């Protein structure tokens, strides 16, 4: 029969594991996952331009800009052109929810 202390340790480990699972839901996606899932990588490379700018170039351009997150989220949602050249970025607001857009923008800005 197990000793009381080894049973207590087992309960603590099980509790800690359960808490970790609860705090990080399996459906949570990272910025990397979301940029791949939503087709961003078809036009943007992490460190090289494809049709649109490299994510690292975007992060560098907006470094220190306190409004960068909101500005880029609006750009992802509404689309636009002219900032990085003549190729327009399509609007994604009807396809990607605001929380996922924020996660992706935060990821891009973290690449600086």
Q: Which residues of 69-97 are buried (b: 16+ CB within 10 A; e: fewer)?
A: beebbebbbeeeeeebeeeebeebeeebe
Beta bridge partners of 44: 49
Beta bridge partners of 89: 80
Give the per-residue pLDDT at 3: 52
Q: Where are the domains of the chain?
A: 29-110
CATH architecture of 29-110: Orthogonal Bundle (1.10)
- The pLDDT tens digits of the residues spanning 2-52 come to 554 444 444 434 444 434 333 344 445 899 999 999 999 999 999 999 999
Question: What is d(CA 32, CA 52) in angstroms, rounded to the nearest whole number?
Answer: 17
Question: What is d(CA 54, CA 49) in angstroms, rounded to the nearest whole number?
Answer: 5
Structure tokens at 37: 């899932």
Question: What is d(CA 43, CA 49) in angstroms, rounded to the nearest whole number?
Answer: 8
| Prediction pTM value | 0.74
Nearest to residue 107, comparing CAs of 69, 78, 75, 81? 69
């Amino acid at each position: 029969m197990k000793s009381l202390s080894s049973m207590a340790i087992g309960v603590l480990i099980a509790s800690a594991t359960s808490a970790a699972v609860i705090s990080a839901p399996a459906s949570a996606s990272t910025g990397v996952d979301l940029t791949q899932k939503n087709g961003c990588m078809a036009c943007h490379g992490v460190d090289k331009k494809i049709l649109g700018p490299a994510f690292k170039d975007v992060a560098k351009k907006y470094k220190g800009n306190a409004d960068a997150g909101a500005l880029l989220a609006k750009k992802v949602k509404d689309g636009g052109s002219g900032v990085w050249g003549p190729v327009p970025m399509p609007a994604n607001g009807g396809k990607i929810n605001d929380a996922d857009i924020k996660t992706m923008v935060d990821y891009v800005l973290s690449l600086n």
